[in-house]
Amino acid sequence: MAETAIRFSGVNKWFGKLHVLREINLAIGAGEVVVVCGPSGSGKSTLIRTVNGLERVQGGDVVVLGESIARRGVNLPALRTRVGMVFQSFNLFPHMTALENIMLAPMKVKRVARPEAEKLARALLERVGLREKAANYPANLSGGQQQRVAIARALAMQPRIMLFDEPTSALDPEMINEVLDVMTSLAREGMTMMCVTHEMGFARRVAHRVVFMDEGQVVEEGTPDEFFRAPKSDRGKQFLSKILTH
Amino acid sequence: MNYAFKWSVLWSGQSGAWLLQGLITTLELSAVAWLIAVALGILSGALRTVPFRPLRWLATFYVEFFRNVPLLVWMFFWYFAVPPLLPRPAQDWVFNHGAEFWAGTAALGVYHGARMSEVIRSGIGAIPRTQFEASVAMGLTTFQAYRLVILPVALRLIVPPGTNESLNLLKNSSVALTISVAELTFQTRQIETYTAKAIEALTAGTLIYLVLCLSIATIMARVERAYAIPGLISRTQAG
């Protein structure tokens, strides 16, 4: 990869006495799609949350699009406009319609005029296949639809990087694919993506690289082919045997 | 029972004018105090949840200091203790513009602001933390996240306890009679003094308070339904 979008160098973090991130070194190139997987409690969600400063690092640094996140006085709101995030629990704002959810950040952060913001929001809804749901409130959308709106909302800021923190873990099985399809098309368009997910099929088809974490460490990384065919570490083998047998 | 009812005392002489004056003063006192209470309540309730410790402490100090002293003591404090502390021109202004009224308003507003603060804090506490994270993750500042997402949702959630607190404020405005604010209860006492008809005077006062509070409760129930967040249980329960 020519250009580095995210670089973790020597990242450490503790929750009390628990050492949740141990010396993480990892670089994600522009346009790269990286899937981070690992058992529950391995620190993968904490890691992805350091990228936009939802978790502060206590040692080392994360450099995102050339900006150091650990630097004192870093302008997090400005950085976050260039890094979109999609959460496990969708987190649409319940008092706004789907359209208003998408229009909010462009209007309030980028000061885009309302008609323009609405045009953009409708185009994004179209793109995630929910053109006719513009006026619906989150409560009147299915989980899969809510998550697609959440992706559209993150894209409304025209980010350079998209972070996905277990985007399908709260979904019923029949809704997982509609979300993965949107993510796949985003990857095909060249978006830089960091995805924490248990969807190994998605990792296989779409990811350029798989990072396997356990106990706060990056245990191994490689192409999906390498990792799924022949994991180098014992912990990787164990993990795969657990999730691929059912 | 040898009490001779004489309801006509309520509309003969000056009684009617007094009751009307009292009602107007009660409404003015409560309305201004309510605005103060809501402003202070939203501000301190929000500050108690922000990720910055000194601001949380400041808001906690306000709430605990003002809600843990009786309202009656605050009335005396604002009326007798505060004006001498003001600079001379401000003192003159206050005493020429109804010092009792402004002291009563301040006492009621600041005291109920502290109580309103707890109501609003509980509303914010009912919102998942991830809503705040989603807001700032798209570039909103903490202030914007509170103004555009957290508070609009919290305020919708706290309409029922907020109404309760507002009715308490209206009823507690009667305590202002102790510093001679000529509000509704003050005026019913006056009618009683002039006519010696306690039951009639108190009945009039009681009915006026009852009608006022029931009207507010009815209006707030409508507000609750109009602004209900789609999909929340409260929508089907309201009214």
The string of pLDDT tens digits covering residues A8-66 is 999 999 999 999 999 999 999 999 999 999 999 999 999 999 999 999 999 999 999 99
ipTM of the complex: 0.93
pLDDT band at B233 (very low <50, low <70, confident <90, very high): low
Neighbours of A114 (CB within 10 A): 10
Cβ separation A105–B139 shorter than 8 A: yes
- Which among A52, A137, A140 has the least Cβ separation from residue B137? A52
SS3 at position A173: helix
What is the Cα–Cα distance from B153 to A94, expressed in whole angstroms?
8
Please name the member of A54, A80, A139 whose beta carbon is closest to the beta carbon of B139: A80
A137 contacts chain B (CB < 8 A): yes
DSSP A50-107: HHTTSS--SEEEEEETTEESSSTT--HHHHHTTEEEE-TT----TTS-HHHHHHHHHH
pLDDT > 60? residue B234: no
Residue B220 domain flag: no
Show residues of chain B in contact with A84, CB under 8 Å.
137-138
pLDDT at A2: 58
Q: How far apart are CA B79 and CA A213, in angstroms?
A: 66
Average pLDDT over residues B73-90: 93
- Chain A hits for B144, CB-CB cut-off 8 Å, are 108-109
Phi and psi of B67, rounded to 5°?
A: -90, -10
Residue A244 contacts B where some CB pair is shorter than 8 Å: no
User: B138, B141, B149: best mutation site toward chain A, by most A Cβ within 10 Å?
Assistant: B138
Phi, psi of A181 (to 5 degrees): -60, -45
User: Rounded distance, CA B80 to CA A114, Å?
Assistant: 53
Q: How far apart are CA A50 and CA B237, in angstroms?
A: 42
The DSSP letter of residue B229 is: P
Tell whether B236 lies on the interface with A, counting CB pairs under 8 A: no
Candidates A79, A93, A96, A124: best to mutate against B (most CBs of B within 10 A) is A93
Q: Measured between beta carbons, which residues in chain A are less than 8 angstroms from residue B153? A: 93-95
The CA distance from B62 to B121, in Å, is: 13
HSE, side-chain direction, 13 A CA sphere, residue B146: 17
- A209 close to A32: Cβ distance less than 8 angstroms: yes
Nearest by CB to residue B230, choosing from A84, A137, A154, is A137
The CA–CA distances, whole Å, from A153 to A122, A169, B146 equal 11, 19, 18
Q: Which residues of chain A have pLDDT under 50?
A: 1
CB pair distance less than 8 Å for A80 and B133: no
- Could you tell me which residues are beta bridge partners of residue A36? A196, A211
Distance from CA of A210 to the nearest CA of B (A): 24
Chain A contacts in chain B segment 136-195 (CB below 8 A): 136-141, 144, 148-149, 152-153, 156
- Looking at the domain assignment, is residue B133 inside a domain? yes
Structural domain includes residue B188? no
Cα B130 from chain centroid (whole Å): 32
Q: What is the pLDDT of residue A246?
A: 54
Average pLDDT over residues B154-179: 96
Q: Which residue of A has its CA nearest to B156?
A: A95
Domain presence at residue B2:
no
Q: Are strands A18-29 and A4-15 parallel, antiparallel or unpaired?
A: antiparallel
* Cβ under 8 Å to B: A residues 149-188: 150, 153-154, 156-157
Tell me the pLDDT band of B159, cut-offs 50, 70 and 90: very high
Task: Determine the pLDDT at residue A72.
Answer: 86
The reply to whether B191 falls in a domain is no
Given B139, B153, B230, which is nearest A109 (Cβ)?
B139
- A141, A132 contact by CB (below 8 A): no
Q: Is residue B65 part of a domain?
A: yes
Domain of residue B151 covers 26-182
Q: How far are the Cα atoms of A149, A151, A227, A245 from residue A210, in angstroms, in the given order?
A: 26, 22, 7, 19
Number of domains in chain B: 1
Q: Where are the beta strands (DSSP E) in chain A?
A: 4-15, 18-29, 33-37, 59-64, 67-68, 83-86, 161-165, 192-196, 209-214, 217-222
| pLDDT at position B2 over 90 | no
- C-alpha to C-alpha distance for A108 and A113, rounded to whole angstroms: 9
pLDDT digits (tens, 9 = 90+) for B43-69: 999 999 998 899 999 999 999 999 999
Please tell me the predicted confidence (pLDDT) of residue A56. 93
Does residue B82 lie within any of the structural domains? yes
Q: Please write the tens of the pLDDT for every residue from B172-220.
A: 999 999 999 999 999 999 999 999 999 999 999 999 999 999 999 999 9
Provide the chain B residues 81-140 that lie in CB contact (below 8 A) with chain A: 128, 130-131, 133-140
- The two beta strands, A217-222 and A33-37, are unpaired
| Pick from B200, B202, B184: nearest CA to B10 | B200
**Residue A11 contacts B where some CB pair is shorter than 8 Å:** no
**CATH code (residue B57):** 1.10.3720.10
Q: Which residue has the tokens 């804090």?
A: B121
Structure tokens at A200: 């190994």
- Alpha carbon of residue B140 to chain centroid: 32
B88 within a domain of the structure (yes/no): yes
